[in-house]
Structure formats: C-alpha cells, structure tokens
Amino acid sequence: MQIYFRVKAAGKRRPVLELIEASLPDDVQCLGDAIRAIVTDQVQRFNARSTGQSIFPYLSPGQLEEQAEAGKVGFEAAYDDRRVNVAAAAETAFQAFEDGIYKVLINDTIVEDLQAQLTIAPGSVFTFIRLTMLTGTMR
C-alpha cells in the first residue's frame, strides 16, 4: 500500500519537508510495524546510494531547480562506503520514540503507542515531528 511521510523539526527555518512516497506491506497492523517498514525502506535507499564519482560533476539547470524546490541542493554522492544495519536502525527508531524524541501523526491524529492497532488507508500521511531538547542549567 502506498503512503506518504514527512519529517518536521521544531526551530528550523523550513520545518516541513516534502512528502516522501513509501510502500508499506499489507500486513502492517501497528505503529511499530509501520516504523519498521519505513526505516527498512530508507536504510535500503541509503545503502544503495552511489559511492562512485559522477562523470558529469555538475547539475543541470533542471536538476538545480528541482532540488531547490525540495529545499536541498547537492550531488547526492556518498563520500564513504559505510552501510547501515536495518535491525539496529529500527531499534534506534523504536527507542527514540519511547524516549519522546519524536512524535508520530497519521493523518493529523497522534499515535502514542507502538503496539496500538492502526487502520491505514492508501495515501495516508505519516508525519514525524522531531522534538527539540532544551539544554541549560537547572535552578
């Protein structure tokens, strides 16, 4: 099933990033399953990125414009060959959720439990809101 997700971060000049299309398996029943599927997809994309040099070390005007609309202009090149472990990334995402580092909204409804049963329709929008941790001294 096709869904969309976006990431928001408090305090950023551009707090909303574009919607990113993702595919969830049909057996997703809870938020934990959905997070695992999204993390797996993103890790596979990250691991598949190119580490080689482009034979065209520049961006075309169309590519510049397209990337500028998305909010980030770059060559999308990887400068090292490290790979991410899917299981470790999923566990980190679960731990961060449990620690309150980010919140999840599905179609503007807050979901606070990883094991809560979900009804996800095709085209649903998952919004991940990364919360800002304040630092300073306690008085």
Say what the pLDDT of residue 102 is.
93
Query: What's residue 14's pLDDT?
Result: 57
Is 120 domain-assigned?
Answer: yes
Let me know if residue 55 belongs to a domain: no
Identify the CA nearest to 129 among candidates 107, 109, 101: 101
Q: Do the domain assignments include residue 110?
A: yes
Question: Does 54 map to a domain?
Answer: no
* Ranges in the chain, pLDDT < 70: 10-17, 50-58, 75-80, 133-139
Q: What is the pLDDT of residue 87?
A: 95
Residue 112 maps to a domain: yes
Count up the domains in the chain and report the number: 1
Range of the domain at 112: 2-48+84-130
Question: What's the CATH number where 36 sits?
Answer: 3.10.20
User: HSE (CB half, 13 Å, CA atoms) of 32?
Assistant: 11
